[in-house]
Structure 1
Amino acid sequence: MNTQEVIITWATPVFFALIALELLVAKLRGRRVYHSSDAINSLGLGVISQIVAVFSKLLTLGIYAWCVQRLAIFALPASSVWVWVSALLVYDFCYYWLHRAGHEVNILWAAHVVHHQSEDYNLSTALRQTGSGVLLGWLFYLPMAIVGYPLEVFVVVALIDLLYQFWVHTELVGRLGWFDRVFCSPSNHRAHHAVNDKYLDRNYGGILIVWDRLFGTFIEEDDTDPPVYGTRSPLRSWNPLWANAEVYWATAKDAWHARRWGDKLRVWLKPPGWRPADVAQRFPKPDFDIGRTRYLPPLSRGLTLYSLVQFALLLGMAVQFLDLAKHLAAVELVGYAVFLVLSLTALGALTEGRRIGLGLEFARLLATAAIPLLSGGWFGVPHLDGPVVVALVAVALASALALGWLAVSSAGREGSEKAIPG
């Protein structure tokens, strides 16, 4: 197990322990900072980003390693403490510019938008990550390779920078005095996630907020103007595939409709929200309303509990996928990845309260039972003991029965409510 895998292995249970602690503290303070469907969506997007990372490491780390070997100006030793300290500072500086570009260049925003879509602000939001950031994000870190920072140093400082940012995604930690003036803190990052006019496109720092102070993008959180979270074009969906595709799709449509060839290119490179004049005139969009009703489709308590249980089971499968990824055959790896992504998409449709969600979820449960029943194994596990096969089929069958009962119960309650006059 390499250093990166060791860090992730130890960090994951800590993440969920801190989420549990945040839930407890919020309850003791009489606050609600989590909504189950939103949290499932955020964590599901984090799972998908990790699935994508399994396939994208060859591109990102491979390019970095090639540049270090052939283009590095210096041969920086991984044994030097100063190499590690300076690498973390340089990485954080590069991250600032990537993060800033992610808010100022539409094609980069199309990837980064995933992290901002939640209308909640809690520790699950920190794990809400893009699946497409790998396409262009690696470009911003190539200067580190050219300077000569070894690959192993780059990988570890990248993880440190990312892990640090987890704890700043909370509403339960207030101002921290001098710390807020130097480091990215919960207060500073709350302002970054806000859609209020005064906060828009500010506070990009990963570990240090000093970069924002140096380059004029810092703003302090204002208690008289509390942050409102989300995006100015709300996602209004729990579909993780659509969450990753929405801005790409909207931009592609604007590019298609634009009459001038220059506008077809500029729509990708201009800041988010920019549209060619002729497109905006022919296909107007509603103005942003900060007082909009948040997206939260009603879901019965039973279906909420069902969704949480099924997500926990899928999370266990995702952990198994990441463990098997080191030695699983390509065909099986892709198959398992597709199964997990489609499963999370089905669960998203179910939590939206859509009729198609029930059909997709029943289909997912059928596939979950059919795979071990027909093959005698599971992805990456060619032969399962008989009791294990029976257990997998039994869990899928019990889930289907529970889902059917909950669906009938919910439909019955809705029918009764409609029948009541007034």
Structure 2
Amino acid sequence: MDYVEIAVPFFLLALLLELAYGKLINKNTYKLNDTISSLFMGSLRGTSGILKIGFSGYVYYQIETHFALWRMDSNLWITWIFAFVAYDFFYYWFHRFSHERQIFWASHVAHHQSEEYNLSTALRQTGTGFFISWIFYIPLFLIGVPSYVMVSVGTLNLIYQFWVHSRHIPKLGWYELFFVTPSNHRVHHAQNDLYIDKNYGGVFIIWDRLFSTFQEEQDDEECVYGIRGAIKTFDPVKANIHIYQKIFKDLSYSISVRNFYNVLTAKTGWCPDGSSEGSSDESFDPTTFTKHDPDIKPFTKFYVFVQFLCMAYAAVVLLADKNLEYDHGVILIALVIFSMFCTSQWLDAKKIMHLEYSKLVGILIGLCYLYFFSPEFFLLNILMIYFFLNIIFLPFLRRT
């Protein structure tokens, strides 16, 4: 069972409570631009997850049906305990490879781009991880873990990781020895020389202690969040593809088979010219680090928030409607992605009226298609309201 959909309302409630608590104690860890960007990323992750279920689900089904050595009994509690622990073990290696190898880092980097650290960071998930993450869990199907159990423990693992994305929770004593906590996960998200590429566990920190990747949070070394070689934008599309762009660029320079192989398999940040762009080997000075935080006008913030609410509604529809027609899904996903892209440009303090006009044209094309081919589509009127809402905002945006 996928428990994440059930947990999402509680995630959002916890996010609001953390925001209120931070305001109350005068230690707010949220910024509008960063939070909206993270929630956009989470929405993209949710819609791309549809592809993951289709592709990896087929592979897992074939393995479970034809190649599994035996089938564990899902009615036995020992099966669930074994699966939960074993899943986290393989998650540790997936997570470690996702930092240490370039092609895997490309699908994980988006989660680490936030220069803040709060519960919204937990929702900042990559939209391309489904390409390769499923490979690491094949052994569990081979040894007979039922798919129902796998989905359940996988989502429980993900849910556990939500609460550790907080700066307000201190060290937790003996619990730190065995489990992932806010303290040791803060280390994981930091780019300081002392902290970078450490603490990969999802639930259990014991894997890091066993395989020498553990680092305790130090009182005299404040965590500096984000990635080396920061992209300096809140654009969710750029966040998902910029490492892939680097890889393809490097491949175009790779005139030898060896370089071609290295670009795909070498350590994160490796370049054909011998440099180490964006890797843990790149020099980093926390005293000179500045966060990407452009100043935008109050009306722009209001517009961004309205757009976010619209995109959130569309994402919920995409996830909740299991019977959505394929062409309807394609139209909605395309509009959501382009609207997120446009909105992120305003967060970056860029005036992009030409993109706003392009968005209106895209919405109009979608409306025409739905009106002529699916006049009964339940979101047709909602999409029309969204179209006119964007038109109303245009004159105000031109003056910002």
Normalised to the residue count of structure 1, the TM-score between the two structures is: 0.88
Give the conservation status (yes or no) of the 8 Å contact 2:192–2:284: no
Could you say which residue in structure 2 is the equivalent of 1:382?
A: 376
Could you tell me which amino acid in structure 2 is paired with residue 382 of structure 1? E
1:362 Cα deviation from its structure 2 partner: 4.1
Give the conservation status (yes or no) of the 8 Å contact 2:4–2:159: no
CA-atom RMSD, angstroms? Answer: 2.4
Structure with the bigger RCO (C-alpha within 8 Å, sep 6+) is: 2
Give the conservation status (yes or no) of the 8 Å contact 1:373–1:393: no
Structure 2 vs 1, CA of residues 101 and 278 (structure 1 numbering), >3 Å: closer, same or farther?
closer
Could you say which residue in structure 2 is the equivalent of 1:360?
A: 355
Could you tell me which amino acid in structure 2 is paired with residue 360 of structure 1? L
Could you say which residue in structure 1 is the equivalent of 2:174?
A: 178
Deviates more, 1:196-205 or 1:296-305: 296-305
How many Å separate the matches in 2 of 1:55 and 1:178? 40
Could you say which residue in structure 1 is the equivalent of 2:102?
A: 106
How many Å separate the matches in 2 of 1:286 and 1:155? 38
The answer to whether structure 1 residue 94 and structure 2 residue 90 are counterparts is yes
How many Å separate the matches in 2 of 1:53 and 1:23? 28
Give the conservation status (yes or no) of the 8 Å contact 1:116–1:193: yes
1:146 Cα deviation from its structure 2 partner: 0.6
User: Which secondary structure does the structure 2 equivalent of 1:111 belong to?
Assistant: coil
The answer to whether structure 1 residue 302 and structure 2 residue 296 are counterparts is no
Structure 2 vs 1, CA of residues 266 and 383 (structure 1 numbering), >3 Å: closer, same or farther?
closer
Normalised to the residue count of structure 2, the TM-score between the two structures is: 0.92
The answer to whether structure 1 residue 292 and structure 2 residue 289 are counterparts is yes
Structure 2 vs 1, CA of residues 395 and 240 (structure 1 numbering), >3 Å: closer, same or farther?
closer
1:166 Cα deviation from its structure 2 partner: 0.5
Deviates more, 1:88-97 or 1:311-320: 311-320
Unaligned runs of 5+ in 1: 411-422
Offset from partner CA, 1:69-128 (integer Å, 9 cap, x none): 111112201111110111000000000000011111110001111110110111111011
1:401 Cα deviation from its structure 2 partner: 2.7
User: Which secondary structure does the structure 2 equivalent of 1:355 belong to?
Assistant: coil
Could you say which residue in structure 2 is the equivalent of 1:235?
A: 231
How many Å separate the matches in 2 of 1:84 and 1:184? 20
Give the conservation status (yes or no) of the 8 Å contact 1:75–1:149: yes
Give the conservation status (yes or no) of the 8 Å contact 2:106–2:244: yes
Could you say which residue in structure 2 is the equivalent of 1:49?
A: 45
Question: Could you say which structure has the larger radius of gyration?
Answer: 1
Could you tell me which amino acid in structure 1 is paired with residue 396 of structure 2? W
More helix by percentage: 1
Could you say which residue in structure 1 is the equivalent of 2:126?
A: 130
The answer to whether structure 1 residue 337 and structure 2 residue 337 are counterparts is no
Give the conservation status (yes or no) of the 8 Å contact 2:228–2:282: no
1:381 Cα deviation from its structure 2 partner: 7.1
1:368 Cα deviation from its structure 2 partner: 4.1
1:315 Cα deviation from its structure 2 partner: 0.3
How many Å separate the matches in 1 of 2:109 and 2:383? 37
Offset from partner CA, 1:211-259 (integer Å, 9 cap, x none): 1111111010011011101101102111111111101111221222234
How many Å separate the matches in 2 of 1:253 and 1:216? 34
Structure 2 vs 1, CA of residues 252 and 77 (structure 1 numbering), >3 Å: closer, same or farther?
same
How many Å separate the matches in 2 of 1:209 and 1:374? 52
Could you say which residue in structure 2 is the equivalent of 1:62?
A: 58
1:55 Cα deviation from its structure 2 partner: 2.0
Selected match of 1:252 from 248, 252, 277: 248
Selected match of 2:388 from 393, 397, 401: 397
Selected match of 2:209 from 207, 213, 223: 213
User: Which secondary structure does the structure 2 equivalent of 1:277 belong to?
Assistant: coil
Give the conservation status (yes or no) of the 8 Å contact 2:83–2:145: yes
1:50 Cα deviation from its structure 2 partner: 1.1
The answer to whether structure 1 residue 77 and structure 2 residue 73 are counterparts is yes
Structure 2 vs 1, CA of residues 406 and 346 (structure 1 numbering), >3 Å: closer, same or farther?
closer
Matches within 5 A, 1:262-277: 262-277=258-273
Name the % identity: 34
Could you say which residue in structure 1 is the equivalent of 2:194?
A: 198
How many Å separate the matches in 2 of 1:368 and 1:31? 41
Give the conservation status (yes or no) of the 8 Å contact 1:366–1:396: no
1:331 Cα deviation from its structure 2 partner: 2.2
How many Å separate the matches in 1 of 2:302 and 2:142? 51
Selected match of 1:319 from 313, 316, 335: 316
User: Which secondary structure does the structure 1 equivalent of 2:230 belong to?
Assistant: coil
Structure 2 vs 1, CA of residues 407 and 260 (structure 1 numbering), >3 Å: closer, same or farther?
same
Unaligned runs of 5+ in 2: none
Could you tell me which amino acid in structure 2 is paired with residue 240 of structure 1? P
State the 4+ residue runs in structure 1 displaced beyond 6 angstroms: none
How many Å separate the matches in 1 of 2:253 and 2:377? 53
1:314 Cα deviation from its structure 2 partner: 1.1
Deviates more, 1:73-82 or 1:186-195: 73-82
Deviates more, 1:204-213 or 1:290-299: 290-299
Could you tell me which amino acid in structure 2 is paired with residue 359 of structure 1? H
Question: What is the aligned length?
Answer: 396
Structure 2 vs 1, CA of residues 396 and 208 (structure 1 numbering), >3 Å: closer, same or farther?
same
1:305 Cα deviation from its structure 2 partner: 1.7
Could you say which residue in structure 2 is the equivalent of 1:416?
A: none
